[in-house]
Amino acid sequence: MNVYSKSETELDVRPDDIDLYQHVHSTRYLDYMLAACFVQMERDYGMSMMDFAARGLGWYMTSSTVNYKRPLGMGDRMVVRCWVEHLTETGCRVAFEIDRLPQRKRSCDGFCDYALINLKMNRAVPIPADGRENCRI
């Protein structure tokens, strides 16, 4: 069985995240997940997005699912927890949870599917062995 590590990153709601209804706009939750993934890839997995780009590779989101539970609002702080749920030959599923601090009440959860793309050919390619290994605990 594959076991992948979970990582946490704390973020703040920014003023430009707020919509007309005075809570965080639904699209921003994916922005939070992506921001946390960028930090976590470098800090916890030892391979940043820039490391992949230097190899001519990029991660393209192919689908996303967000389950909204409670809204975040102005002045809120959150913890974004992400982990690789599973790998395929050319991609992965990244699951996430966003909890409002300090109570750690669930704001939303979900997952995103990604394909690893050769940036010159614009085609999916196999995940390098070191990329696979760095996802494991």
Kindly list the domain boundaries of the chain, sorted by start residue: 6-134
Contacts of 39 (CB under 8 A, 6+ apart): 9
Q: Rg for the chain (alpha carbons), in Å?
A: 16
pLDDT at 5 exceeding the cut of 80:
no
pLDDT digits (tens, 9 = 90+) for 68-89: 999 999 999 999 999 999 999 9
Structure tokens at 9: 């990153």
User: In the structure, what pLDDT confidence band is assigned to residue 132 with cuts at 50, 70 and 90?
Assistant: confident
User: Domain 6-134 sits in which CATH superfamily?
Assistant: Hotdog Thioesterase (3.10.129.10)
In percent, the amount of the chain with pLDDT more than 90 equals 80
